[in-house]
Chains A and B, each alone.
Chain A
Amino acid sequence: MKAARLRIYTLIALMVVLGCTGDMILSLGMKRIGPIPDWSPSGLASALFHTVSSPTIWLGILLLLAFFVCLLTAFSWADFSYLKPTMAVSYPFATFLAYAVLGETVTLTRWTSVALICMGSAVVGLTAHRTTAPAVRPVTAPVTGHAGEPAR
């Protein structure tokens, strides 16, 4: 049980880091491209070309894709009502990044919300991460079906 709990904590931490970093890098990439000056079809096509030819944008997309794969994995491991609130630690993490990396000022209201989210996530995080039975056998189990039995 301890190993399972550690595994889900690791996955949530990974998702928070991937999601926040992906968002930040995408935002950085879009800021580098700048606002769209011309909303005509040719202007939009030019903006699209700059977006898809930016390595920063692709890095952000790659990180968010990795986040999504981790999210799917997490959904296969744990309850939705467990994951939804615990994944909200991304808000405090983003605040920490803004404070420590970007040097932004963090107000008292923001610190209060960080404290509330951390408390809520901790309360949910200490409950059992799965309350429903697995629907099917683990996919990592070797498929050793008898002859004629379709491998699922």
Chain B
Amino acid sequence: MILSGSLVLLMVLAGTGGQLALSRGMKQVGEVGGLSFAGLARTVAGALRQPWVYAGLSLDAVAFFSMLALFTREDFSVVVPVTALSYVTGTFGARFLLGEHVCWRRWAGTLLVATGVTLTILERAGQ
């Protein structure tokens, strides 16, 4: 139980941390002008020079393998709904680590989405 709990914590925190790190890295790259091929190529080139992007990818890999390890111990219906927690932890991270202004409407919307995603996943797991 302690090991499963630790794996859940690792999966959620590493997954959220990975995406927050990617977001931070890309903010440092700066805005890309448009959706042209040249613009997207500049995005990739800028991303490859950002240590935060590599940190994000590494954390995402940790989250992925934690999820695989968790699947060997717990049912799918237990593991997957927990991933919906990442909406809430992600918004906390954006507020306190990235310094974003999260207004009450953004919180309300995030909670609605997290509830909807949990329902979707629970229903899928029950099939």
User: Which of A's residues lie within 8 Å of B, judged by CB?
Assistant: 7, 10-11, 14, 69-73, 75-77, 79-85, 88, 91, 95, 107, 109-110, 112-117, 119-127, 131-132, 134-140
Cβ–Cβ contact B91 & A140, under 8 A = no
Residues 83-124 of chain B: 1 if any A CB is under 8 Å from the residue's CB, otherwise 0?
A: 000110011011100111111011011111111111110010
Asked whether A84 and B87 contact (CB < 8 A) given A76-B29, A120-B112, the answer is yes
Q: Total A-B pairs in contact (CB under 8 Å)?
A: 173
Taking CB atoms and an 8 Å cut-off, the chain B residues in 1-52 that contact chain A are 19-20, 22-23, 25-35, 39-40, 42-44, 46-47
* A140 partner residues in chain B, CB cutoff 8 A: 31-34, 39, 42
Residues of A within 8 A of B114 (CB): 120
Given that A80-B90, A116-B116, A135-B27 are known contacts, is A124 also in contact with B35, CB under 8 Å in the complex? no
Q: Is the CB of B43 within 8 A of A116?
A: no
- A23–B85 Cα distance when bound, in Å, is 22
* Cβ contact within 8 Å between A134 and B30: yes
Chain B residues packing against A (C-beta within 8 Å): 19-20, 22-23, 25-35, 39-40, 42-44, 46-47, 53, 86-87, 90-91, 93-95, 98-103, 105-106, 108-120, 123
* A88–B116 touching, CB < 8 Å: yes
Given known contacts A80-B94, A131-B101, is B44 in contact with A85 (CB within 8 Å)?
no
Contact B23 A88 (CB under 8 A): no
In contact, B100 and A131 (Cβ under 8 angstroms): yes
Do the beta carbons of A139 and B46 come within 8 Å of each other?
yes
* Cα-based distance from A117 to B25 in the complex (angstroms): 28
Residue in B closest to A123 when the chains form the complex, CB atoms: B109
| Distance to closest chain A CB from B30 (angstroms) | 4
Find out whether the CB atom of A73 lies under 8 angstroms from the CB atom of B109. no
Complex contact A136–B30 (CB within 8 A)? yes
Q: How far is the CA of A115 from the CA of B91 in the complex (A)?
A: 21
CB pair B42 A124 closer than 8 Å: no
Which residues does chain B contribute within 8 Å of A116, judged by CB atoms? 112-113, 115-116, 119
